[in-house]
Chain A
Amino acid sequence: MSPSYRVVPYSIASLLDLFAEFSLAVPEDISSKLHSAYFRGYFAEIGAATIVVELDYVDRDYLEDFSNYYVKCFNDYPRKCTRIHFFSVSFSQAEFKAALTEPPLFSIDTLKESYLGFIVVKPLPKTVIGRTCLKTYPEGTGRSFPSKRKYEVNLFGFELSVDSLAYQEQDQVAAACATSALWSIFHRTGSMFHHSFPTPIEITKSATCNLPAERRNLPNNGLTLEQMAHAIRNVGLEPFPVKTPNEYILNSTIYAYLKAGVPIALAILLVDTSKTPHEPVGEGGHAVAVTGFCMKDTIPPPLYGTGFLSRSSRIEKFYVHDDQVGPFARMDIDGVPVIAGGENIFSISSSWKGQNGVIGSVRAVPKAILVPLYHKIRIPFEIVEKIVIAFDLFFETFRQQGYFSLTERIEWDIHLSDVNQLKKEMLSSSDLPNGFREEVLTTKLPRFLWRAIGLHQGRPALELIFDATDIEQGNFFIRPITYRADIFAILKSLSMPPPIQSATDNSPAKWIFQWFRNSL
């Protein structure tokens, strides 16, 4: 009986050899992929020590693409894949065999705790990296991956799991970059909002059935944002597009939804800055799935106009699933522009190589994001932001008059949330005044909420809660949560004088000041 598994010590060379062995690709093609350089750094950072190769693996997504496309080719493309598992502890083939054939000689718990995830290798000539679920970079110190979920893995009876978000390379047949980005996104929204998990070919077909491309739909040459929106509707969600011409809008909008766990499609133009003048890469754009972010510990720059301070402006990098690079690839918000037509254009870093062969010499110009939303999340972020910006400016005006004992301007953390998450945080919060916790915990609230947490020196001072399921014309402000009793009393007093009432009633913050005016 031929072996159904193999145990190999991890090294980047052995990994690339396995990619070549279990696909139809030649080693030169494997080593020239950006993924090879990316995985070298990634596995070093997460500490891979051992590989277990699971042969003859049936992968649902590949099987679907196979049955719809590859099986109809004249060439005999194989039906089964290979799944490569990674562990952070070292063990040998003999030790693993012993664990399967008799009571384990090493601890099953060790195997579970050291599991780093897997990569499915597809039996194709070039695009070999299939469904990939790998442990993220360690969270903390500003790094966060809210879009990850648990993947259960059964390896010969061992019940393993990894917290990640599935990633795969585009196969340039059933999927180009846009489909691959959506496929990753749906892995998260499917578990959040209980919709199906379409395969790449199902996504491409649903995107193009009513909005066919000018060229062939299959093999797929890419999608437009409009087509991606159609694919989002096909799983029962609502697409919400936002243009992203500057750092503030990119950061604030992505953060607002990603913090709730919703991964976001980001459409970018790639520009090769190793050329003079800077030159676009290819003829179209590229799509990635934004899956995480990293915040720095410095005061955010104020927004133009009112000087509004948004917590999201602390974001210094996003982590994205870039199907041409790898999972959780970094894109730095580093303030370096690209130059087009003599103008500086906002851009972020990428891991692509320019003509000079240097990783990072291609920069990404964010064009727009597409947020897939459950239909009940009706109030968009910008409406809540508008209200908080208005409230903030009045608050700051009063603070500068000396009405509040706050030494610095409030910084606002605005993000989508749900009632369970809010109450879970309130239950364990040490910032709430005594007696107030029970009131908040027992108040009936809608399922989806917008939270605008006003932070002073990093601690919550005041929070504004909005109903995300209401209609824009209505009063969807629910209530404040005041972490400081003095702020509550002062705001109530300040909302009374008729000239302030008149000014605030003519602003987007009207309902908030009315709430304080009418409160007991």
Chain B
Amino acid sequence: MGRKSDFEVRMSPEKIAKSAEKWVTSTAGKQALEDALKLINETVAQLSNERFVDSKTLRMPLSI
């Protein structure tokens, strides 16, 4: 079993849930989540555009 570490005592699931509730309702927490969502959408959209194979590439002769 072993003794719990300071981190584990400090950050038990109950304490984390409470701390998270407090943080996400704060201005900083709301902004962090909003920024994360925006960044995810931008990154994923850019990757998708870059990966798209156009017909010119599909018809490029590979003749060497």
- Residues on A facing B (Cβ under 8 Å): 176-178, 213, 221-226, 228-229, 241-243, 245-246, 249, 253, 267, 270, 281-287, 303-306, 308, 324, 367-368, 382, 385-386, 389-390, 393-394, 397-398, 401-403, 405, 486, 489-490, 492-494, 496-497, 499-500, 503, 506-508
Contacts and interface: CB of A to CB of B under 8 A. Distances in A.
A497 B58 contact: no
Contacts of B17: 493-494, 496-497
Given A390-B40, A390-B44, A507-B40, A497 B64 contact: no
A284 B24 contact: no
Mostly, the B contact residues are helix
A490 B13 contact: yes
A243 B51 contact: yes
B44 A249 contact: no
B2 interface: no
Given A177-B64, A282-B63, A286-B64, 12 more contacts: A176-B63, A213-B61, A223-B62, A224-B58, A283-B61, A283-B63, A284-B63, A397-B32, A402-B11, A403-B19, A493-B13, A493-B20
A409 to B, nearest CB: 14
Mostly, the A contact residues are mixed
Interface of B: 5, 7-8, 11, 13-14, 16-17, 19-21, 23-25, 29-30, 32-34, 36-37, 39-40, 42-44, 46-48, 50-54, 57-64
A286 to B, nearest CB: 4
Contact of A397 (B13, B16, B33, B51): B33
Nearest to A241: B53
A393 to B, nearest CB: 5
B53 to A, nearest CB: 4
A448 B3 CA distance: 41
A176 B40 contact: no
Contacts of A306: 39-40, 43
B33 to A, nearest CB: 4
B39 A222 contact: no
B58 A241 contact: yes
A177 B62 contact: yes
A304 B62 contact: no
A287 B60 CA distance: 11
